[in-house]
Amino acid sequence: MTHRTEADRSRRRTLHDAAAGLLTSPEPPPTNPPVLGTLLRDTARDLVGEFRGVTNDRWTLRPLGGGPSWTVSPEHTETADIGARLRARTQADETVRRAHRR
């Protein structure tokens, strides 16, 4: 059994509506990218990353503790609230601690 999040269900509904011609004009993505280093939450993946730049029409985010960056559509981002920032920082700190124990 596949576990689908609300974001997955919403994305599937949007794709279905677009294919059926029910969407007349999609909401335009944000026009101004955030300042480099801004912490954003990728709502499609429920991950927090640091804004690193723009690649084509997508934004590049990097995990706080380092690691591979990923790209996301601007409409799937929001500024990370304090809870999301604290969770991401704690996870990054734990990753660093585990790496130093080896």
Per-residue pLDDT of the chain (102 residues; tens, 9 = 90+): 566 777 777 777 766 666 666 555 444 555 689 999 999 999 999 999 999 999 999 999 999 888 899 999 999 999 999 999 999 999 888 887 888 877
- Domain residues for the domain of 53 are 33-101
Split into its structural domains, the chain has a count of 1
Structural contact between residues 72 and 59, judged by C-beta atoms closer than 8 angstroms:
yes
pLDDT at 2: 64
pLDDT at 66: 85
pLDDT at 1: 56
pTM assigned to the model:
0.64
In CATH, what number is assigned to the domain containing residue 45? 2.30.30
For residue 20, is it within any domain? no
pLDDT at 26: 47
For residue 70, is it within any domain? yes
